[in-house]
Amino acid sequence: MTSILMVCLGNICRSPLAHGIMEHKLNPNNYYVDSAGTADYHVSAAPDRRSIKVAKENGIDISSQRGRQFQVSDFDKFDHIFVMDNSNLNNVAKLARNASDMQKVKLILDTQKETTAEIVPDPYYGDFSDFEKVFKILDKACNYWIERL
Ligand code: 4NP
């Protein structure tokens, strides 16, 4: 079993989408996918309704996900930890205990030359079209990593 954790700030916009998209593409017998936020703002909350909507429009139900905060123990539980932006990367790096913890952590758009963005922009203060853009970016990024996991 390979385990993958998607991490953003609030765990209500970007990482729930990344979680849902990746889970949808992978065989659950071989892969476990989860998500978390570096902040505790939205612990136990459902994803943002705009993330739920854009996922649903693409055939993915993320409505039963609930927010949780990233824990140091996640370094032990997960093989791959994908973060959405440099701020998430710094926040996770602060909790890393050693180099092997950090080896698991990657920007989800790292090495993805075919997208123009290097970070997944935070759509929280944007409108629905920002969530549609994030969905497309993450869908491509997940395809990229699935070929390389
Ligand atoms: P996310 O977006 O990190 O993609 O879930 C955010 C959600 C909530 C907040 C910030 C970003 N917030 O400040 O509450």
Ligand 1 pocket check for 122: Cβ under 6 Å: yes
Ligand 1 pocket check for 124: Cβ under 6 Å: yes
Predicted pLDDT at 113: 60
Ligand 1 pocket check for 11: Cβ under 6 Å: yes
Asked whether 54 and 132 are in contact (CB, 8 A), the reply is: yes
pLDDT by 10-residue block (mean), the chain, 149 residues: 98 98 98 98 98 98 98 98 96 98 95 66 98 97 93
As given in the structure block, the two tokens for residue 137 are: 């970016």
Predicted pLDDT at 110: 85
What backbone torsions phi and psi does residue 61 show, to the nearest 5 degrees? -100, 110
| 29 alpha carbon – ligand 1 mean position (Å) | 31
Tell me the DSSP string of the chain: -EEEEEEESSSSSHHHHHHHHHHHHS-TTTEEEEEEESS-TTTTPPPPHHHHHHHHHTT---TT----B--TTHHHH-SEEEESSHHHHHHHHHH--SHHHHHTEEETTTT-TTSS-SS----TTS-HHHHHHHHHHHHHHHHHHHHH-
Mutate to test the pocket of ligand 1, among 124, 135, 137 (most ligand atoms within 8 A of CB): 124
Mutate to test the pocket of ligand 1, among 11, 13, 70, 119 (most ligand atoms within 8 A of CB): 13
Radius of gyration of the chain (CA): 14
Predicted pLDDT at 118: 83
